[in-house]
Chain A
């Protein structure tokens, strides 16, 4: 699975995930040193191909690559459908001709990393595609939960918010269910994907029921542009019904932790106070993000070079 890139958690087996988590543990130690750099990927080239603006994820991948001594190049073409310039596949093939060892792709449309992977020699890492998957986010979330809870098996994880439009939700649903957790999703029905149970989750429209007995509460970012549309009547009603604060958190287990993929709309999906303080672990997630992306880059960009070499 990991051989050809990382397009989604749906494609991974439990052993793949365990290997990545183990590797990330080693990588984390590097980040705790004074000199946060090892020569592992020296001479390797990683291209961050971000069709959709992203500061956090791109920076996280960039730091991860640099800590492993890879040459990291950021490439952010303007959105092809808006500018009608070069097609995504032409862009990808052009970059591939420069012989990168890995290409990290983000795009606002689901499936683009897959289409790019189909035409590229280099392994492709999905850094988020539309409402499809965001696998490194889910892996760093697993890592964060293991650190805080010591395990995944048997936990109850509740994901709250706009499930329909969330790649973080899909990847986390796959990740946590594959690792033995019970996953629940909660949100207004307008933000729930059709037949969401097909993903192996239980769906709730009552936050109270969804949180009952939860070990992990994951709030998703509400996209501002959806607030005014047909999905929600108002920010206030969303916040009152699904915003997580200390009072609502009492429905969950006493030792429940709170997670958020960031950036947080303070006071909408998460209270100001919870954003900054325990039991929220948001900055742990960010910290682990670098270690996790180091692990993924190490496993994919660090492998023996391409088919041509293997053939010769």
Chain B
């Protein structure tokens, strides 16, 4: 019987309102006890003194690029980056090549994950075939194969009837539809937030109304269909307000926000660094404040990375030509810990948004350290200082706006099903 004891840490498990000094005992991959001074006989001991012990993080939105774009990332490298960032479950987007619109692709991803990934990989299947917005995917078969949600992500379904049908049909399988809510006819060639920054840079602007228009549309469609709408990477104050109001009216809408939309404004783009180009773009300080407020009051359920690896040669081009997106898995925790230091969120609120609240959105059994739950754990040193160097990270790509910056807070140990898969000094330990 494999026993692991995580000893001497501050256990923060918002799922059960636990925040106390305790040990966590895991047997055969499952949590069996959380209590003070547990018996360590025969157990492998993980020292957590001075650290937080939390459920392993769940990322509702990442791009792992396999199959098809393994030069940017693959399931092994992305899974390792996740392990190093404290993520024990990564939900990967469907815009691979081939697109994950077929159970065979879903099964392929899960098969690769079993062999290559130190952490759990949960595929998000496409909502429409080929992400083309014309024909729905076989949702029942995809869920059978292991899909946890549906999304066409950046290929926003602009046909409102198609979007309505997707939300309707997905009810049959009880899985959410995650959307990249932008009116692409309004975004057009916009590459930075429309405002003083786009005016000064002379780059085409992407107005915040592009997001609010589609969030509004999708909320109305969720209302008439009863489907579960999940808004990906919320970036505007307007979208936060719309989601807040929809939830008051009882509409089944959830939301996520990325570390970069919580920590950075469009001012970061003033030097034309393509590693500050995202979709949706970095927004104004008022939008950032509203996103933080949305997380604090529960309007936004989860922090999701939108980890989007791109090769150096793809990013080192004209700003308008560079693909949008940045790495997120290895920097998420230290970036969002700033919200706790700045007293925008309590420790429990922050951890909830990375664990139990995210789990609830996609109906996952993880994200908690209660008896019987999977032994997925992150051990965090919230004060540890380190310098992030993407060339030394686990991702194959380097496109991070935090490259070379000093970070405060680091994941020290990550466990999946009771096995140590990452330790800060020993690195990722392959399954």
B202's partner among A87, A88, A170 (CB-CB below 8 A) is: A170
Q: A37 interface residue, CB < 8 Å from B? A: no
Quick check: is B194 within 8 A (CB to CB) of the other chain?
A: yes
B97 at the binding interface (Cβ < 8 Å): no
Residues 163-207 of B at the A interface (beta carbon under 8 Å): 194-196, 198-203, 205, 207
10 contacts between A and B (CB under 8 A): A81-B321, A111-B201, A112-B319, A131-B203, A193-B198, A193-B199, A194-B195, A194-B199, A195-B199, A196-B199
A87-B313, A88-B318, A114-B272 are known contacts. Are A198 and B202 too (CB-CB below 8 A)? Answer: no
Contact of B104 with A by CB under 8 A: no
Identify which of B195, B201, B313 gathers the most chain A CB atoms within 10 Å of its CB: B201
Given contacts A111-B203, A114-B271, A114-B272, contact A194 B198 (CB under 8 A): yes
Given contacts A87-B316, A89-B316, A109-B319, contact A132 B202 (CB under 8 A): yes
- Nearest CB of chain B from residue A90's CB, rounded to whole Å: 9
Say yes or no for A106: interface residue by CB 8 A criterion.
no
Which B residues are in CB contact (< 8 Å) with A196? 199
Which has the most chain A C-beta neighbours within 10 Å: B194, B318, B319, B321? B318
The contact size tier of chain B is 20 to 34
B156 within 8 A of A: no
List of B residues within 8 angstroms of A132 by Cβ: 201-203
Interface check B225, CB cutoff 8 A: no
Contacting residues, chain B, for A130 (C-beta < 8 A): 202-203, 320
Interface residue? A96 (CB, 8 A): no
B196: chain A residues at CB < 8 Å are 194-195, 198
A199 to B317, CA, bound (A): 27
A199→B321 contact, CB < 8 A: no
How many residue pairs between the two chains, A and B, have CB atoms under 8 Å in the bound complex? Answer: 66
Other 14 A-B pairs with CB < 8 A, given A112-B318, A115-B319, A196-B199: A10-B200, A80-B317, A81-B321, A89-B316, A107-B318, A109-B321, A110-B201, A110-B203, A111-B201, A111-B319, A132-B203, A198-B196, A198-B200, A199-B199
The 5 closest A-B pairs by CB, nearest first: A111-B272, A132-B202, A131-B202, A198-B196, A193-B199
For the complex, is A162 an interface residue (Cβ under 8 Å from B)? Answer: no
The answer on a CB contact under 8 Å between A80 and B199 is: no
User: What 0/1 readout, one digit per residue, does chain B (309-336) give for beta carbons within 8 Å of chain A?
Assistant: 0000100111111000000000000000
Q: Which residues of A contact B195 (CB under 8 A)?
A: 194-195
Q: A111-B272, A115-B272, A198-B196 are in contact. Are A81 and B202 (CB under 8 A)?
A: no
The answer on a CB contact under 8 Å between A194 and B203 is no
User: Shortest distance in angstroms between A174's beta carbon and chain B's nearest beta carbon?
Assistant: 10
Judge whether A184 is part of the interface by a CB distance below 8 angstroms. no
A60 to B195, CA, bound (A): 34
Residues of the A chain whose Cβ atoms lie less than 8 Å from the Cβ of B199? 193-196, 198-199
Let me know if A194 and B205 touch, CB within 8 A.
yes
A245 CB–B CB distance under 8 Å: no
Contact pattern, A 118-138, Cβ under 8 Å of B = 1, otherwise 0: 000000000001111100000
Cβ contact within 8 Å between A87 and B317: yes
Give chain A residues whose Cβ lies under 8 Å from the Cβ of B318. Answer: 80-81, 88, 107, 109, 111-112
The CA of A80 and the CA of B195, in the complex, are separated in Å by 28
Inside 8 A of B313's CB, which chain A residues have their CB?
A: 87
Tell me which residues across on chain B come within 8 A of A170, comparing CB atoms: 200, 202
In the bound complex, do residue B194 and residue A194 qualify as a contact, i.e. CB atoms below 8 Å apart? yes
Complex Cα–Cα for A196 and B201 (A): 12
Q: Once bound together, how far apart are the Cα atoms of A112 and B318, in whole Å?
A: 6
